[in-house]
Amino acid sequence: MARPSQALVAPLIAALVTALACASAPRPSAPGAPASGPAAASPYGADPGDPAAPGDPASDPTLSDPALSLPQVSSGPGAGRRAQSGMQSALLGAMIGASMGPIGALAVGTLAGVYGAVTGDVPFGGGGGYGGGYGGYGGYGGAEAEREAEIERELERQASLESEIEEELRRQEELLQEIENEPAAKGEAAARPPGAAPDPEELAERVDPRIAPRAPRPRDLPLSIFEERKVDIPAGAWGDGEKRKVVARSLDADRDGKPEEVRYHDPKTDALLRIEADRNYDGRLDAWTVYRDGVVAERQLDEDDDGKPDVWERYEGGVMSAREVDRDANGTRDAFYRFAGGALVEERHDTNGDGKIDRVVVYENRRIVRIDEDQNHDGAMDSWSHYGSGPSGEEVVARIERDENGDGQPDVFESYEQQDGKTVLVRREEDQNGDGQVDVTSIYEKGKLVKREISDPSLTPL
């Protein structure tokens, strides 16, 4: 018996599969009869291969009579879809089985076609089948899509809410800045005519560190923005050993639960006693100001944000009288500034952190007149530099005295002059035998030794 030609395999399989798909397709229910089995409805709508398309009121009386309406159950793919899938599956199977000859093409094509006609899916199709590629049979794909859409909508709502919160915080910060700047702006405007710039003296006072700074003034803020409560201050909490009952007014502008400023008032007179502030808005207090008789008396600052004061200031008559600083944050103060008459008069420094003052700067009329130094750090001053005025009024060294034998008294005296814009040594006097009298005098010109005089013959030759 002759074998079938390979060219006739595919048409034979296609015809077989089409007949099988039509035979396996669900039949429509008779008019007036209730829907039977899964053929009551199709998720695809009307199928050209079905004799009566579900969803047509003419073929299904339940759609025209609400009293007879029943929940529709998905029936899977219709005959048209099954036939199409069966033919595609048969052709694909025949091509795959052709490598085994006509019999292989017929066998594989027939099996694949039967599978496609029954399930409505194409095998070897890479997962794009009926359950996923056609919208989710049984409703799973639609429910998953709706859930993902709801998640997207919720994320959008959260992003919108975060944006609104950030905008509100920014607005509050701008408002607080305006409130803070308003008193200063009003004070400056009242002090000078409209449109007039600050006078040179006022500008110099702002930038010159040798002018005693004025005491800080509390911002003029409405009481309505503060949260008020009564507080008991334990003895010693403010460093004075006294227990107090006070009224605390807190300002938390950014609503983070950490106030940017707390003002303490006497409950009887409402006099301001103390202000604690968070100047950089990091949630930690860094400024503590003490008031006496309504004016600033003391202030402590935390400049390195370690939670501990490292600057201590005292005020008298509304201006600074003293300032002490812990520059290396080791808990010991190492720089001391003293003001008098509204001007800096003295600086004292511990430059090597050994707890001993080794540099003192003395001022008169806000100008340096002398610098004393302990250059060998033995605890005793051994160098004294005296200053004068240069051609342009600048501070220049005029004389330096040194203690080279360590007895606490100067025994070397150097004189300097300004020549060609430079400070040069012109004369050096020495007490080499320690009797308090100058023994050797050296004369210099343009920085070079030109003459030496020795008054004690025992010192020659030098």
| CB of 344 closer than 8 Å to CB of 338 | yes
pLDDT level of residue 128 (50, 70, 90 thresholds):
very low
The more confidently predicted of residues 286 and 30 is 286
The span from the CA of 79 to the CA of 50, in Å, is 6
Average pLDDT over residues 4-19: 50
pLDDT score of 134:
37
Cα maximum dimension of the chain = 149
Above 60 in pLDDT, residue 167? yes
Above 60 in pLDDT, residue 44? no
pLDDT level of residue 157 (50, 70, 90 thresholds):
confident
pLDDT level of residue 176 (50, 70, 90 thresholds):
low
Within 13 Å, how many C-alpha atoms sit on residue 233's CB side? Answer: 19
Report pLDDT digits (tens) over 429-440. Answer: 999 888 889 999
Instruction: Share the mean pLDDT of the chain.
Output: 77
Q: Which span out of 19-23, 119-123, 234-238, 346-350 was modeled with the highest average pLDDT?
A: 346-350
Average pLDDT over residues 289-304: 96
In degrees to the nearest 10, what's the CA dihedral of 172, 174, 177, 182?
-110
pLDDT level of residue 142 (50, 70, 90 thresholds):
low
Its sign, for the CA torsion 185, 190, 191, 192, is positive
Tokens of 117: 């006609």
Which residue(s) pair with 370 in the sheet?
362, 386
Tokens of 224: 């309505």
Residue-wise burial string across 103-117, b where 16 or more C-beta atoms lie within 10 A, e elsewhere = ebbbbbbbbbbbbbb
The more confidently predicted of residues 259 and 190 is 259
What SS3 string covers 60-119? CHHHHCHHHCCCCCECCCCHHHHHHHHHHHHHHHHHHHHHHCHHHHHHHHHHHHHHHHHH
Report pLDDT digits (tens) over 335-365. Answer: 999 999 999 999 999 999 999 999 999 999 9
Above 80 in pLDDT, residue 306? yes
Q: List Cβ neighbours of 339 (8 Å cut-off, separation of 6 or more).
A: 212, 319, 320, 321, 322, 323, 345
Residue type, 167: E
pLDDT score of 97:
65
Above 90 in pLDDT, residue 322? yes
Please choose, from the candidates 409, 364, 357, the residue with its C-alpha nearest in 3D space to the C-alpha of residue 383: 409
| CB of 205 closer than 8 Å to CB of 211 | yes
pLDDT level of residue 171 (50, 70, 90 thresholds):
low
Above 80 in pLDDT, residue 170? no
Report pLDDT digits (tens) over 58-113. Answer: 444 444 444 444 444 445 566 666 667 667 776 776 677 666 666 766 766 677 77
Q: Could you tell me how many residues make up the chain? A: 462
Q: Which span out of 178-192, 201-215, 239-253 was modeled with the highest average pLDDT?
A: 239-253
Q: Nearest 5°: phi and psi at 114?
A: -60, -45
pLDDT level of residue 425 (50, 70, 90 thresholds):
very high
| First CA to last CA distance, the chain | 140
| CB of 81 closer than 8 Å to CB of 97 | no
Which residue(s) pair with 319 in the sheet?
214, 316
